[in-house]
């Protein structure tokens, strides 16, 4: 297996007994730790009307994290473009790139990152998701030097090299990323069902562009690393509780490792959770080396982004360290 870059997806999740303030403070510590370990990037995701996720003002949080770190790339995984005017995002990320040169990524998604009522409150137009390809192209125009004679221009933003990524959790986005010749990041950490089909579509249909000559796939997976397989297996309970909350629409703060909810015993709920866990890797350094190496070799992904929903911050930071060591041995 060829060694590939490692990156982090962090949702600024509120843990049981914590607050939005502690979630954001923990995100900064995670970013600093990832930077020290040599991780390539840390991304935050846009979610709205979710009480226990503190990353709704994603651009603001990206700026905060970038200001507390020095070298790691900081970006969005992603900005949900249907919620925003492309001009506003061009200005926001143009400002971020101006303050933190060569460190900002702009990952773009077509979902609202919320329920439909909240999506209406954000932009008050249900048709914007259908305009996603056009909005991505408009963003590219605002960042281009060729827009200098236009009546509407983005400052800061125009002429800046801000990498755009297309994000996906289904096959639709694969076609768009391929057509536009952009890097493709798949959310296999919560929607793994179409992952392999989507990346095959992307690679088979990829058209080289000015920014990318060949396909580039980043897979986001769940990773829970610990000293032993037994310890890592205990950590899994927090993630299962989180997924049960998503499936039953009864979201709660991230719980400590321990008891599983009774509703998890319902066969339909258990099956739905297990489906979401299909791209989840947990265990000791040796176990992760074996299982992740096989996954990377099979899928031929170019970069691995990890989400680690672990209650205890120290255990979470340790998980990133164990993972780095696990893949450094190849």
Summarised one tens digit per residue, pLDDT across range 170-183 is 999 999 999 999 99
Q: What is the pLDDT of residue 1?
A: 44
For the cut 50, the answer to whether the pLDDT of residue 35 exceeds it is yes
For the cut 90, the answer to whether the pLDDT of residue 113 exceeds it is no
For the cut 60, the answer to whether the pLDDT of residue 151 exceeds it is yes
Q: What is the pLDDT of residue 36?
A: 98
Q: How far apart are CA 321 and CA 128, in angstroms?
A: 41
Q: How far apart are CA 186 and CA 307, in angstroms?
A: 12
Asked which of 7-21, 103-117, 255-269 is least confident by mean pLDDT, the reply is: 103-117
Ordered DSSP codes for 11-46: --BPBTT--HHHHHHHHHHHHHHHHHHT--EEEE--
For the cut 70, the answer to whether the pLDDT of residue 271 exceeds it is yes
Do residues 302 and 219 touch, judged by C-beta distance below 8 A? no
* Cα distance from N-terminal residue to C-terminal residue, the chain: 7
Closest-CA residue to 137 (of 93, 97, 181): 181
**Which residues lie closer than 8 Å to 108 by C-beta, 6 or more apart?**
76, 78, 79, 81, 132, 136, 139, 164, 165, 166, 167
- What is the chain's mean pLDDT, rounded? 95
Asked which of 103-107, 118-122, 237-241 is least confident by mean pLDDT, the reply is: 118-122
For the cut 90, the answer to whether the pLDDT of residue 120 exceeds it is no
Q: How far apart are CA 207 and CA 209, in angstroms?
A: 6
Ordered DSSP codes for 40-85: -EEEE----S-TTB--SSHHHHHHHHHHT-SSSEEEEEEEEGGGS-
Asked which of 109-123, 160-174, 222-236, 305-319 is least confident by mean pLDDT, the reply is: 109-123
Do residues 77 and 119 touch, judged by C-beta distance below 8 A? no
For the cut 80, the answer to whether the pLDDT of residue 325 exceeds it is yes
Q: What is the pLDDT of residue 125?
A: 66
Rounded average pLDDT over 236-252 = 94
Q: What is the pLDDT of residue 256?
A: 95
Which DSSP letter does residue 260 get? Answer: P
The two tokens of residue 143 are 């960042």
The distance of Cα 281 from the centroid of its chain, to the nearest Å, equals: 16
Rounded average pLDDT over 163-167 = 98
pTM given for the model? 0.96
Domains of the chain: 6-328 (3.20.20.30)
Do residues 168 and 182 touch, judged by C-beta distance below 8 A? no
For the cut 70, the answer to whether the pLDDT of residue 71 exceeds it is yes
For the cut 90, the answer to whether the pLDDT of residue 20 exceeds it is yes
For the cut 90, the answer to whether the pLDDT of residue 59 exceeds it is yes
Rounded average pLDDT over 173-196 = 97
Q: How far apart are CA 67 and CA 131, in angstroms?
A: 33
Rounded average pLDDT over 298-306 = 98
For the cut 60, the answer to whether the pLDDT of residue 330 exceeds it is no
The two tokens of residue 159 are 């002429």
Closest-CA residue to 97 (of 124, 130, 128, 74): 74
Asked which of 40-44, 115-119, 211-215, 270-274 is least confident by mean pLDDT, the reply is: 115-119
Rounded average pLDDT over 189-209 = 97
Q: How far apart are CA 290 and CA 91, in angstroms?
A: 44
Rounded percentage of the chain residues whose pLDDT exceeds 70: 96
Q: What is the pLDDT of residue 327?
A: 95
pLDDT band at 3 (very low <50, low <70, confident <90, very high): confident
């Amino acid at each position: 297996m060829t060694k590939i870059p490692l990156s982090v997806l962090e949702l600024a999740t509120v843990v049981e007994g914590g607050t939005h303030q502690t979630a954001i403070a923990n995100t900064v510590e995670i970013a600093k730790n990832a930077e020290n370990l040599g991780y390539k990037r840390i991304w935050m995701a846009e979610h709205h009307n979710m009480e226990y996720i503190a990353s709704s003002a994603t651009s603001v949080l990206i700026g905060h994290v970038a200001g507390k770190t020095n070298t790691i790339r900081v970006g969005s995984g992603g900005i949900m473009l249907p919620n925003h005017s492309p001009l506003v995002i061009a200005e926001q990320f143009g400002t971020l790139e101006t303050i933190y040169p060569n460190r900002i990524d702009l990952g773009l998604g077509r979902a609202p990152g919320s329920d439909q009522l909240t999506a209406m409150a954000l932009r008050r137009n249900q048709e914007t998701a259908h305009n996603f390809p056009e909005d991505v192209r408009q963003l590219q125009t605002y960042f281009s030097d060729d827009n200098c004679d236009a009546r509407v221009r983005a400052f800061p933003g125009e002429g800046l090299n801000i990498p755009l990524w297309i994000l996906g959790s289904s096959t639709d986005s694969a076609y768009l990323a391929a057509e536009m010749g952009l890097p493709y990041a798949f959310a296999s950490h919560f929607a793994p069902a179409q992952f392999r089909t989507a990346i095959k579509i992307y690679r088979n249909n990829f058209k080289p562009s000015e920014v990318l000559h060949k396909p580039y796939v980043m897979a986001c997976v769940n990773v829970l690393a610990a000293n032993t397989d037994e310890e890592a297996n205990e950590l899994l309970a927090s993630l299962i509780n989180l997924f049960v909350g998503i499936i039953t629409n009864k979201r709660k703060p991230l719980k400590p490792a321990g008891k599983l909810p009774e509703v998890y015993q319902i066969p339909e709920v258990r099956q739905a959770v297990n489906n979401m866990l299909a791209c989840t890797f947990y265990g000791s350094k040796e176990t992760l080396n074996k299982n992740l190496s096989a996954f990377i070799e099979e899928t031929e992904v170019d970069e691995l982004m990890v989400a680690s929903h672990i209650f205890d911050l120290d255990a979470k930071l340790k998980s990133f360290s164990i993972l780095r060591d696990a893949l450094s041995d190849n």
